Amino acid sequence: MTEELHEEVLDSLAELDKLCTVFDGASQEDVAYAKVFWSSLSLQPPIESRLVSADIRQRLRAAKTPHSTNASAKQASWSKRDDEIQQDVYLKQKQEERQKYMEMAKKREQIIALLKKQRDERIKIGSIICG
C-alpha cells in the first residue's frame, strides 16, 4: 500500500514538474535557490483592485443644504450652454476639416492636370522628332 502511495506521489510530482518552470542547464545549487525564491514569493493584488484601502478613510457624503436646489438649476442652465458651445465648436471643427480636404482635392486635381499637360507635351515632341 505504501508502495502504491509512493508511486502516486511520484506521478503527481512528475505532472507538477511539467506545469512548473524548468531550470534546464542550470546547476543544482542554482535550481535550489530559484525554487526557494519562487516558493517564498506571494504576490499581492494592486492597490487599485482592493475594495477598501487602509490609508483612505471611507465616509458617507455630507447631506445637501436646502438652497442647493437653486444652485443645481443654475448648474443645469450652465451645462446646457456648455453643451451648445461644445456642439458649435464640434461643427466648426468638422467644417474646417471638410474645407481642408476640399483644398487637398483641388490641389490634387491641379497636379493631375499639370502632369497630363506635361505628358501631352512630351508625346507631341516625341511625334515631331520621330515624324
- Grid coordinates representing 6 are 509512493
Per-residue pLDDT of the chain (131 residues), as tens digits, is 577 767 777 777 667 665 666 677 788 888 888 878 877 777 777 766 666 666 656 566 666 766 555 556 666 777 888 888 999 999 999 999 999 999 999 999 999 999 999 999 999 988 888 86
Three-class secondary structure of residue 24 per DSSP = coil
pLDDT value, residue 35: 79
Say how far apart CA 23 and CA 33 lie, in whole Å: 11
Say how far apart CA 121 and CA 127 lie, in whole Å: 10
- Grid coordinates representing 65 are 443644504
N-to-C CA span, the chain:
108
